[in-house]
Amino acid sequence: MNTNDEPRAASAAAPAADTREPRTSKALQGRLLQVSRLAAMGEMASGLAHELNQPLTAIANYAHACDRLLARPAANLVEVRDALRQIASQTTRAADIIQRLRKLAGGQHGEHAPANVNALVRELHELLLSDARLHGVEVSLELDPQLPEVSVDAGQIQQAVINFFRNSVDALAAGPARRPLLVVIRTSATADHHVELAVIDNGPGLAPGLTERVFDPFFSTRADGTGLGLAISNTIARAHGGSVGYRPHEPAGACFYIRLPARPRTTAAEP
């Protein structure tokens, strides 16, 4: 009796141990992704605050203008209406900035769905520009108009782009004082049916001995760096069946990229 019962107890316990491990790993991955997201947003906070301050200042100025116009004996209602329209426009602009921030900082993960990488980059463009302006960095987009779609969690892919971008801005700030400081975000289709999204800068690049370690967790060339950004980007890429990589950019600089499997192109059914 005892010999028959013991194997059954052991076999019953095994599935419980197997199911707990993936859940723990997934929960840890989610927490690390959120830490990476919030760290990146924190580093961009000064630029984003400046960006948000612009429409708020404009709203205040137009409101004061309305007050002055209405205080005149013969108020020009056309000018008042124009000022009110400007207030409405700037309010919408500020709300859009806040909505983008909430989307990026919220930490909500969606299902993988068909997406165009160019559209994901354009959604980020204004937020990245605000950070770039604060550091005297110029940003340009070189987006392949013929990209195939990919199946992704859009928020995670955008987080990988932010991580690459912040890495470039930090490298430019720490490197030799050359002008202009440039970051290029480039998309392209590869010959092996992948979509590549690359962030390129004209900073100092990586020393040869660091290229093998740069995507390791907690490895950073900055004294105050967390070492999570590039490692999280690597995790995101693998979760999508893709990869990340680094290559030097000639004549100077670095190129960090993520490659994602392209969705098969659909063809119209023959009649």
Name the residue ranges covered by the structural domains of the chain. Answer: 46-103, 112-261
Whether the CB-CB separation of 183 and 169 falls below 8 Å is answered with yes
Angstrom CA distances, 53 to 56, 88, 162, 186, 218, stand at: 5, 15, 22, 29, 34
Q: What is the pLDDT of residue 3?
A: 47
Q: What is the pLDDT of residue 17?
A: 43
Give the dihedral sign, CA 113/118/122/127: positive
Residues in the chain, overall count: 271
Angstrom CA distances, 252 to 183, 233, 248, stand at: 12, 23, 7
Q: Is the pTM of this model over 0.85?
A: no
Q: Does domain 112-261 have CATH number 3.30.565.10?
A: yes
Whether the CB-CB separation of 129 and 139 falls below 8 Å is answered with yes
Q: What is the pLDDT of residue 201?
A: 93
Q: What is the pLDDT of residue 31?
A: 57
Query: First-to-last CA distance in the chain?
Result: 69
pLDDT along the chain (271 residues), means of 10: 46 43 51 58 59 81 88 86 88 76 57 92 86 86 95 88 88 75 94 95 81 70 61 85 91 91 70 45
For 202, which DSSP code?
-
Q: What is the pLDDT of residue 143?
A: 97
Relative orientation angle of helices 77-105 and 117-134, to the nearest 10 degrees? 110
